[in-house]
């Protein structure tokens, strides 16, 4: 309850939680690592999407479940662009790649209906 002077207003705050399990996470991580290793790193964007999709599907914020709509092909296109920019800037752009990945993930994460 919150008292605002003239009236009382009830605030309802939903719970936020993560309902994924450790064994599931380890399993997805191992699968992603194996696939990335056997493809010599070419399927790393797919592994990143696989693991992030699992994380997002098990996250609830303020009672609303999150969803992720990013694809490995989208990430691979950005990956090539970031790799090229890192090469032509002699590695300087590499400092921004981690931020770009986080921005891409956030852009493709939303609240489910």
Residue 4 lies in a domain: no
Residue 9 lies in a domain: no
Q: Which domain holds residue 90?
A: 16-111
Residue 98 lies in a domain: yes
Residue 46 lies in a domain: yes
Give the pLDDT mean for 98-109.
Answer: 94
Residue with tokens 């800037």: 89
Mean pLDDT, the chain, as a whole number? 89
Neighbours of 26 (CB within 10 A): 10
**pTM for the predicted model, two decimal places:** 0.77
Question: pLDDT tens for residues 67-93?
Answer: 999 999 999 999 999 999 999 999 999
% pLDDT > 70, the chain: 88
Residue 2 lies in a domain: no
30-53: buried (b, 16+ CB within 10 Å) or exposed (e) per residue?
eebeeebeeeeeebbbbbbbbbbb
Residue 32 lies in a domain: yes
Residue 105 lies in a domain: yes
| Total of domains in the chain | 1
């Amino acid at each position: 309850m919150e008292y605002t002077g003239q009236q009382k207003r009830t605030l309802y705050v939903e719970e936020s939680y993560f309902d994924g399990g450790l064994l599931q996470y380890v399993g997805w991580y191992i699968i992603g690592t194996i696939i990335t290793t056997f493809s010599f790193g070419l399927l790393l964007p797919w592994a990143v999407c696989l693991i992030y999709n699992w994380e997002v599907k098990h996250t609830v914020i303020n009672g609303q479940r999150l969803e992720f709509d990013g694809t490995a092909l989208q990430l691979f296109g950005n990956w090539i662009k970031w790799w090229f920019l890192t090469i032509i800037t002699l590695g300087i752009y590499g400092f921004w790649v981690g931020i770009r990945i986080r921005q891409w993930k956030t852009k493709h994460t939303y609240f489910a209906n």
